[in-house]
Structure 1
């Protein structure tokens, strides 16, 4: 199978947008299979910069874009994003964008509950975006979600809203927050239905036809493995499974759909929001990494926490997500450093371990065990072949391969699409 699945191998913001855009030129279909508008990809195409949260990146390359059933969709955010990119000259229509008919919707009540809960947590806040993603996923598994197909059935919508508001208004009242009226939500949905229903399609059938026709399908993940609701730094995680095995479940295809799994990792580590971060730097080097890397969240605008490359957590991501190869990004940010450290293990209460502990208390206590490598003075920015890289930079990449037990398939040396060193084309695997 010539499919490729792209996932983050750290805590997100690894530069997936550029890699997905680069691969999309080789694909026929690009599919989003999980997450919501709490994640973002930045694509730089010539002089144009696209910031996408829900729309599949392949639309920028004129490829068919699909939003699978594993995504939770805020219809207002979707329409706003479509309007924004159309204003930039990117055509988006029901011919180029298909949304699964069974996709759950994010309603205003979900965002209100998300923000009320986060405020109530105080010092123990998770760091959510407050956009309602978690509550929408809760409704999905509790079987009370409003799905896209429900907008075409007024009688279904009526009784489903009764059940949904019975639950959410109770919780909102308990938090001292404003509750919602059924008539207001019903009016909101009836107004937005004719604007989003034209995009609705039987995505599972469509993808099966594409598979039988030999199409190359690119699955585009959001967030990253260390934010996976099962395998990440729980509870400081997102509300969906971000690993590659969810590509089939979140799109209506079988378990073999993922194909070649490409994990994206920065040459250092960043994180937005709360939660443990063993290799985080609070010194001048951390500040330099943040400034050079322009480390601000695509969606939130929050400054990212920066630290050395953590081989323990990336090896964990490689293992649980079935990563076949890595795309290593932002190597150029490390240019000019005298020495570079790599976290190769953790000290947990005096014992060295080489795995990420599951418990939050243990996660907060681990201290990084570093290996120090020699830096390089030459610039790697814009390099497009191994021959253009300094010897020490190549040694750094090779050492990462050894530590995470996965080969580097792609190497990115700037935000520009063509500043990429291709070791192995994932679609030819």
Structure 2
């Protein structure tokens, strides 16, 4: 798909802690070829995929696919936690910068969980109660929605409920009452107001069943757009500094298999020439003196500081191991090369490859986290201060070809490299 046509579709996943540039890569993919749809396959309203157009217009995509500027429809699969209020706010911003019809091009799987004002209020209350031990939550209620659904699978509010006002009111009331009984009064609107907003959402977008995804995949090229990063994965990330979401290719594989099209997506892993992280948790290569300009990310009340580390090949090898590998890499922020002294960490003081365990053993992941918090980086010889040297260094360190490079924020700043694909 990117140079050799090995896959009909493309699945874009961040192989770090997020913020590597998934949005700008998806924007380029949708600008450079016909794309039937962008399918979101994890996360929810906490995603923040920044896209800048050549004319200077910019938008931070959360639930809309990052191909929206190019008229590409968005499908929110059942693996997305859908926030109707945040989606409406995002649509308003898009309308203000020249995209008035974004909601007309959204389809939503009826089985997707809803993130409500009650989930958001409970999420924020829990995070505040952690004090100095905060996990770095975005405070949007996505994890709270997942947690509630695990505890109450038969009554957790879902998108399809928005088509039945009585059922929606019942489930929202039950949700509010349960959370209030546990946490005390919540800073959230009355149920009646939420019902009004959510039923309006149901009238505005197309709510579909899971067969819709298969139809999209058979109709043309689809770009799967991931959220967060593999190192934050709910099962393989460094617990407890993780997200309530499967950030690997697992959900993509499930959707393709259900459509009878397994293995038809090129796996594209996205990395920066630096390794950033938003909020607390391990960042072995963190360097407080490394302060590249960051227009779209910064410290906020929920996630905390936006931190930078040097390129961490050990962490990214681990991401490759837990995903089962990728076909190609997109390497972003190459415009930083030469302007900053960037280094490449090829090992820690105790290993050059992290052990991968079975999913679900959170005690094991917490022990690995503790070890990482005490680890020290071991740096390779510095690559020459030019992009080509960095591409070669990353390919050597990870054993995967760099097939797309990004030298700035717009699609015009991307360069596809037509080289032989690596097999997984």
TM-score normalised by the chain length of structure 1:
0.85
CA drift of 1:398 comes to 1.2
Q: Give 2:337's aligned residue.
A: 334
Match of 2:225 among 208, 211, 220: 220
Secondary structure at 1:418 match in 2: helix
1:22-55: per-residue Cα shift (whole Å, max 9, x none)? 0013222111111111111111112211221111
**Structure 1 CA distance for aligned equivalents of residues 96 and 299 of structure 2:** 19
Cα–Cα, structure 1 residues 117 and 254, in superposed 2: closer, same or farther, change >3 Å?
farther
CA drift of 1:353 comes to 4.5
CA drift of 1:374 comes to 4.1
Match of 1:67 among 72, 76, 90: 76
- Conserved? CA contact 2:273–2:333, under 8 Å: yes
Any unmatched runs of 5+ in structure 1?
Answer: 377-389
Q: Give 2:359's aligned residue.
A: none
Secondary structure at 2:58 match in 1: strand
Cα–Cα, structure 1 residues 356 and 296, in superposed 2: closer, same or farther, change >3 Å?
farther
Detail structure 1 runs of 4+ shifted over 4 Å in the superposition. Answer: 248-255, 297-303
Q: Give 2:67's aligned residue.
A: 58
Q: Give 2:14's aligned residue.
A: 8
Q: Give 2:390's aligned residue.
A: 396
- Conserved? CA contact 1:219–1:258, under 8 Å: no
Of 257-266 and 12-21, deviating more is 257-266
**Structure 2 CA distance for aligned equivalents of residues 150 and 2 of structure 1:** 34
1:314-342: per-residue Cα shift (whole Å, max 9, x none)? 111122223211100011212144x5421
Q: Give 1:412's aligned residue.
A: 406
Secondary structure at 1:242 match in 2: coil
Cα–Cα, structure 1 residues 245 and 297, in superposed 2: closer, same or farther, change >3 Å?
farther
Match of 1:344 among 334, 337, 346: 346
**Structure 1 CA distance for aligned equivalents of residues 253 and 159 of structure 2:** 20
Q: Give 1:354's aligned residue.
A: 353
CA drift of 1:58 comes to 1.8
Match of 1:34 among 42, 46, 52: 42
**Structure 1 CA distance for aligned equivalents of residues 85 and 419 of structure 2:** 37
Of 40-49 and 91-100, deviating more is 91-100
Count of matched residue pairs: 398
Secondary structure at 2:67 match in 1: helix
Any unmatched runs of 5+ in structure 2?
Answer: 1-6, 357-364
Q: Give 2:274's aligned residue.
A: 268
- Conserved? CA contact 1:39–1:53, under 8 Å: yes
CA drift of 1:179 comes to 7.3
**Structure 1 CA distance for aligned equivalents of residues 407 and 94 of structure 2:** 26
Q: Give 2:4's aligned residue.
A: none
CA drift of 1:233 comes to 1.6
**Structure 2 CA distance for aligned equivalents of residues 113 and 79 of structure 1:** 21
- Conserved? CA contact 1:137–1:239, under 8 Å: yes
